[in-house]
Structure 1
Amino acid sequence: MIWVFSDVPVPSACVITIGLFVLQYYGTHKIGFMFAPIVTIWLLFISGLGIYNVFHWDPKIFSAVSPAYMYRFVRKINKASWKSLNSILLCIAGSETMFTDLGHFSKRSIKITFACLIYPVLVLCYAGQAAFISKHWNDTENFNHLSESVPKHLRHVFILLSLLASAVGSQATITASFSIINQCLALRCFPRVKVIHTSDKRLGQVYIPDVNWLLMALSLSVTIGFHDITRIANAAGMAIVFGMIVTTCMMSLVIALYWEKSLLVSGCFLMFFGFVEAVYVSACMLSFHKGAWYLFVISAVSFTIMLAWHYGTMKKYEFDFQNKVSTEWLTDYSPGLGVSRVPGIGLIYTDMVTGIPAFFSHFITNLPAFHQVLIFVSFKPQPVPCVPPRERYLVGRVGTKDYRIYRCIVRYGYCDQIRDTDDFEEQIISSIGEFISLEESDCESLTSPEGRMMIVGKPLLDRNALIPIHDTTSVAGSTSIANNETLGSPLEDSTERKTPVRRKKVRFLMPEGSPRMRESVREELQELINARESGTAYFLGQSHLTVRDDSNFMKKFLIKAYVFLDKNCLEPPVALNIPHAALVEVGMVYII
């Protein structure tokens, strides 16, 4: 596809590129539905063109598939012919993107389509080009043999279809980039970016706006900067062969570790395919100064970003893990230590599912007081579109019942909007209340693998543990957070504050006259309701990484790069729009 743009002016190529990246907003499914007829027509066109060229120029061209010709090529190899191997790589350009289509189609559909349609079409197309070249061997001015082999009366149709087909081929590369970045985010090897899942059925169909516009800028810079299709082809060939090398290395590890084959089998696989790819790498290196260097620059920048982010993330996690305190440290308080309990609920957001996070212990150490009810909230993504509400919350205790400290793990799918709902706090309180009631009934079937955690969400026989009462009242500039789920920003103009705003208020009541509920359960539920009425505070940790003075240059560089990326990437996801009046950010200096 890369040769198609050789006859297209740079302004036109830039317009097509911008239009392609703008379409990414609508999702892979809609774009694929629009591009599918184009791909079908293009494949039929080039296969028919190949058949025409074979019978018109040289019907005996199929004999060229004999390995004898490859042997003659290697035996009479020279620098010029060795350098031509770089161009051969472009014949397989795009085939590697089939693996990214696994996020959109099944393995069986890809195998059948490639074996029965794509591969035969490509053989016919390249055979036709070879037949044309065999009769125009000395015509060196016609660089694009594909377009020159098209009959003159079909030349305009070819240009239109080739432009559209090139856009489709570029679409596969863009989709692959989104999938790779999404996987890097899961492995904590890339800065936080917004990922939009465009399908509620397949996990791999994603759209990343920041990456989309960055790719568009890089594509335009290459198109305008190089202005020469040969340089772009050299860079593309280098990218293809290095992708093949990485795939071969990873596959050898899969053979040895996952398939549990012997090291001899894995080594033979690596040596055979690695040797073939090393030959092509050597050919590509001859064109390093003619465009291939750009690939190394982009790779170096990308590798530095990923390495810095992964290194900083791991160091931060190690610091949190090493400095976390046990639950006994928090629960084993006494009046002699000067730690007091204040009315209200404290929601502590943390990534840790065990122990007490370091930032909260830092807060208690400097301000020896915490709320009457504490809830440690953690979010855990699941590789499914949606998590049913009845399976969304895992709730357990921290310490004994007297401490009124709970832990809640919120599980959500990639299509769930749990983090943006205004009634999130209501759901947390309801799940805690349901846990208190279920704990007394000793339902072993509800016990999760988390040990002391319980899956809550199933209705309790004929009623709930807590009854939510929704009310809407007019509030103007109120700073009360006890019952309000949504508050305006404190940066609003004073004139806007004077306008009454309709806000949702949620209160909880105890079920009346429940004979199944023990007195101890009613007391704990009532205490939870009273704490909610007193107000809610939200605790978030803010980390500030710094490096030791005696650290080496590489460590300082990676930490500073991580700090820069952390300040300029997407803000950490928060469960809900936290009112500023109730937000408590606890800062800590992490010395790495």
Structure 2
Amino acid sequence: MTGHDSKMGLLTTLSFAFQSIGIVYGDIGTSPLYVYASTFTDGIKNKDDILGVLSLIIYTIVLIPMLKYVFIVLWANDNGNGGAFALYSLICRHIKMSLIPNQQPEDKELSNYKLETPSSQMKRAQKIKHKLEGSYYARIILLLVTIMGTSMVIGDGILTPTISVLSAVSGISTSLGQDVVVGITIAILIVLFAGQRFGTDKVGFTFAPIIFIWFLFIGGIGLYNLFKYDIGVLRAFNPKYIVDYFKRNGKDGWISLGGVFLCITGSEAMFADLGHFNVRSIQLSFSFITFPAILTAYIGQAAYLQKFPQNVANTFYDSIPGPIYWPTFVVAVGAAIIASQAMISGAFSIISQALSLGCFPTIKVVHTSHKHQGQVYIPEVNYMFMIACIVVCAAFKTTEKISHAYGIAVVGDMFITTSLVSLIMLVIWKKSIWQVALFYFVFGFTELFYFSAQLTKFTGGGYLPLVSAFFLTLVMGIWHYVYKEKYLFELKNKVSTEYLREIASNPNISRVPGIGFLYTDLVQGIPPIFQHFIDSVPSIHSVIVFVSIKAIPVSIVALEERFLFRQVDPKEYRMFRCVVRHGYNDILEDPVEFELQLIQHLKGFIQEQSLIHEVDQVATNEQVPSESEMEDNVKEGNGTRSNGSSNRIIQSQGLSRPSSDSIQSLGLSATKLSLSSPPIIGAEEEVKFIEKEMEKSVVHLLTEAEVVAHPNSSFLNKIVVNYAYSFLRKNFRQREQLMAIPRKKLLKVGMTYEI
């Protein structure tokens, strides 16, 4: 069970199940508005074709949303979070597939990391793991596939609002005309995106009753039509009608799959939106509300078409009983507006994950709920979506044309999810070959079959989601490439320990009052920009903390495990290393709060270090490691470390003393030291010095590394680094804007990196 599920009671799960109705199922729930019209674009030529299409719809819904997503894929989550990047981070935690090191001690020493060593009995999983880890191309392919899957979901988020709202409003097209319908649709879309800033929590409780009523309407209308027109359509549960349909229609039947597939668009939202809810809530709401309602709706429409096959172009509205037509129309418009919410919320979640893993330009992520992690809103993305939706609606104007573009991105993302989950089943879950093969070939073949049918609509608008996915993949790929190269440059050119000893003994370098936080991506070693700063301005603060904000491939890092400290030699120079570990759903604190937390943990580290140092002297005469000792014993990038106390990393727990368990972990029994012993005098003096310097000033030194291509690099590398990356960096938020550091406390240190 996921971290979400294990911590939530029944009432919370039921509350989430209710909210999920309004957030997750709007897309798949409004598909009955246009599926039959999109499938029978040239009319119904044979009544038996209705049974064939209905049978296809029934088994497509059972196979993909129900079996694949609800019962299998939802469990392949990353501590309660879904989406392509959640799968990627889960894989990278168990297999060394990340292009940036993520198997270091700073990563693994987390309760949420949960790495397991494969058992000796599962040699196959271990063998595959080693082959993947040894292939650089496999790492690149895994990242690109993940980025492509993410890009396709984002592309789907542009088309979903447009087709859903336009199809609902088209119920009045006969009386007002298509241009008026398009205008009303655009107005509704603007209102929808303007309301996103209120957050999933509030939006979910607002939308859920409307979608619930919508499901009652379509389910009730479906039952009414079934018993009134032709209960015999229930024969479609026999898959024989699918075989007969393809025999009868051949190529035309295959092409019509593009319309049939629309009945499951929105299925991937169940996984992408998982971080907003939990597995059990999604399973409950889909199995007991969504699934029976939409299935009954399709069956009822099929029964109506058996009687009136000529009305297939507007099946949904024509099949509504007269007295409830207008109430249904109003609810349909409301449900269509909400349908957009599923992919918008999912897009926010996965972009937030991509940002934390270094795969997206710097943007502002607003956490909209203090009670529930994972509920986010991204202003820039929201308004980009709104503009794109308006353009698509104005350009295509009809649901038939938009349906040509709709589906390619969805089925592409579904196949990528199938591939990634198959890898997880094979290497992490250690399932048998036949189980993995059954999962991959059954679902993969079905999705590729639908994908082939969707490609027939490429020239009619199908190119749109592919072009948008390609553009987004290019942006994320370029950003991650330069992000990785910048990290490796700093790693290769980090400041030597000898240089630090030299500046410590250099009388020309003055110490100024206060505490300086120098930010760097390195978690071990001092960045080259520090030497550049000292050479340019021969002065340094009385206390220096090298702060590394390190993204960990988990969703959340507990506060007590977030700050990881080391002493930097020489000790009397009062330089410290602080690795601030955060998951992709963690909230970056307010700068003032961040300062207080960091310094509080720094003071706690000083006391713990002194305490452990005294204990080690009594027991083994060993010392707590300094930064230089750590660098001698820990290899950057592979996470290997030798045994013994000389490789210990101190994880601050505030000002509390180490517990008996932590002392035992140092190789000592708890009885060797009384936890109520008086404070160590040296530590108390250091703590008072830190407090005094904090009162004087705290300065944030941000490294502004201008990245340029090396003169000897390839022409392509120069284009990517000097133009593409530079454009993205200048037109998105800067780091100080993201962290909201007050200008009076900010000092930028610039340097040029050639990569």
Q: What one-letter code is carried by the residue in structure 1 that aligns with 2:444?
A: G
Does 2:743 align with 1:591? no
Q: Which residue of 183, 192, 195 corresponds with 1:11?
A: 183
Match of 1:477 in 2: none
Give the Cα–Cα distance (whole angstroms) in 1 for the partners of residues 281 and 695 of structure 2: 57
Report the Cα distance in structure 1 between the residues aligned to 2:555 and 2:488, rounded to whole angstroms: 29
Quickly say closer, same or farther: Cα 1:404–1:301, change in 2 above 3 A.
Answer: same
Unaligned runs of 5+ in 1: 462-514
Judged with a 3 Å threshold, the aligned counterparts in structure 2 of structure 1 residues 521 and 73 are, in CA distance, closer, same or farther, namely: closer
Shift, 1:6, TM fit = 3.1
Counterpart position of 2:732: 569
Higher fraction of helix: 2
Which moves more between the two structures, 364-373 or 79-88? 364-373
The counterpart of 2:404, out of the listed 227, 231, 234, is: 234
Of the three residues 642, 654, 676, the one matched with 1:457 is: 654
Report how far residue 351 of structure 1 moved.
Answer: 2.8
Q: What is the rounded CA distance, in whole Å, between the counterparts of 1:255 and 1:430 in structure 2?
A: 43
Q: Per-residue deviation at 1:583?
A: 4.2
Distance 1:429 1:47, change over 3 A: closer
Deviations 1:466-520 (A, max 9, x none): xxxxxxxxxxxxxxxxxxxxxxxxxxxxxxxxxxxxxxxxxxxxxxxxx956664
Report which stretch shifted further, 451-460 or 180-189. 451-460
Q: What CA distance in whole angstroms lies between the structure 2 residues aligned with 1:358 and 1:419? A: 28
- After TM superposition, the score normalised by the length of structure 2 is 0.65
Q: 2:510 aligns with which of 341, 345, 349?
A: 341
CA contact (8 A) 1:42 1:162 kept: yes
Residue in 1 aligned with 2:256? 84
Q: What is aligned with 2:156? A: none
Match of 1:361 in 2: 531
Classify 1:321/1:165 alpha carbon distance in 2 versus 1 (closer, same or farther; 3 Å): same
Per-residue CA deviations over 1:526-548 (Å, capped at 9, x if unaligned) read 65567557755542211111113
1:548 corresponding residue in structure 2: 710
Aligned equivalents of 2:433 and 2:495: distance in 1? 44
Q: Does 1:118 align with 2:290?
A: yes
Mapped to 2, the partners of 1:44 and 1:156 lie a distance apart of 15
Residue identity in the other structure for 1:455: S
Structure 2 unmatched ranges of 5 or more: 1-29, 31-163, 173-180, 617-623, 626-644, 659-676
Distance in 1 separating the partners of 2:692 and 2:655: 24
Instruction: State the partner residue of 2:135.
Output: none
Match of 1:204 among 351, 363, 374: 374
- In the alignment, the residues of structure 1 paired with residue 250 and residue 304 of structure 2 have an alpha-carbon distance, to the nearest angstrom, of 24
2:337 maps to 1:167: yes
**Offset of residue 334 of structure 1:** 6.5
Q: Deviations over 1:366-401 (max 9, x none)?
A: 44443443222333568678955x766443311143
Aligned to 2:430: 260
Residue identity (%): 35
CA contact (8 A) 1:542 1:586 kept: yes
Indicate if the aligned counterparts of 2:169 and 2:185 stay in contact, CA closer than 8 A.
yes
Instruction: Judge conservation of contact 1:538–1:578 (CA < 8 Å) in 2.
Output: no
CA, structure 1 residues 26+437, in 2 after alignment: closer, same or farther (shift >3 Å)? same
Correspondences of 1:192-341 after superposition (within 5 Å): 192-262=362-432, 265-333=435-503, 340-341=509-510
Aligned mates of 2:571, 2:513 — CA distance in 1: 17
Distance 1:81 1:569, change over 3 A: same
* Matching residue's letter, 2:299: A
- Counterpart of 1:109 in structure 2 is 281
Evaluate the alpha carbon distance shift between residue 534 and residue 20 of structure 1 in structure 2; reply closer, same or farther with a 3 A threshold.
closer
Provide the rounded CA distance (Å) in 2 between the counterparts of 1:427 and 1:409. 13
Coordinate RMSD, CA, aligned: 3.1
Q: Is this contact kept in 2: 1:344–1:530, CA < 8 A?
A: no
Matching of residue 22 in structure 1 with residue 216 in structure 2: no
2:220 is equivalent to residue 48 of structure 1? yes
* Pair 1:342–1:568, CA change in 2 (3 A): same
- SS for the counterpart of 1:99 is helix
Relative contact order (alpha carbons < 8 A, sep ≥ 6): 1 or 2 greater? 2
Paired position in structure 1 for 2:134: none
Cα distance, 1:289 vs structure 2: 1.5
Tell me if structure 1 keeps the 8 A contact 2:504–2:570.
no
**In 1, are the aligned partners of 2:408 and 2:466 still within 8 Å (CA)?**
no
For 1:466, the equivalent position in structure 2 comes to none
Where 1:167 maps in the other structure, the secondary structure is helix
1:58 aligns with 2:230: yes
CA distance in 1, matches of 2:188, 2:290: 25
Q: Residue 704 of structure 2 aligns to which amino acid in structure 1? A: Q
The answer as to whether partners of 1:311 and 1:558 remain within 8 angstroms in 2 is no
1:8-38 Cα distance to aligned partner (Å, 9 max, x none): 5011111111111111111111111111111
The aligned counterpart of 1:182 is: 352
Q: By percentage of residues, which structure has more strand? A: 1
User: What's the CA shift for 1:41?
Assistant: 1.0
Distance 1:321 1:69, change over 3 A: same
Distance in 2 separating the partners of 1:10 and 1:587: 50
Checking the alignment, whether the CA contact within 8 Å between 1:412 and 1:418 is kept in structure 2 is no
SS in structure 2 of the partner of residue 4 of structure 1: helix
- For 1:480, the equivalent position in structure 2 comes to none
Residues 249 and 430 (structure 1), Cα distance of their counterparts in 2 relative to 1, 3 Å cut: closer
Query: How far did residue 266 of structure 1 move?
Result: 3.4
Distance in 1, matches of 2:287 and 2:694, equals 63
1:249-298 residue CA offsets vs partner (Å, 9 max, x unmatched): 22222222222235565345433332222222221122111121111121
**Structure-2 residue corresponding to 1:474:** none
Letter in 2 for 1:260: K
Matched-pair contact (CA < 8 Å) for 2:601–2:655:
no
3-state SS in 2 of match to 1:418 = coil
Structure-1 separation of matches of 2:601 and 2:241: 72
Does structure 2 retain, via aligned residues, the 8 Å contact 1:328–1:399? no
Q: Measure the CA separation in 1 of the matches of 2:561 and 2:687.
A: 22
Is the Cα contact below 8 Å between 2:609 and 2:650 reproduced in 1?
no
Provide the rounded CA distance (Å) in 2 between the counterparts of 1:410 and 1:66: 58
Q: CA deviation at 1:364?
A: 2.6
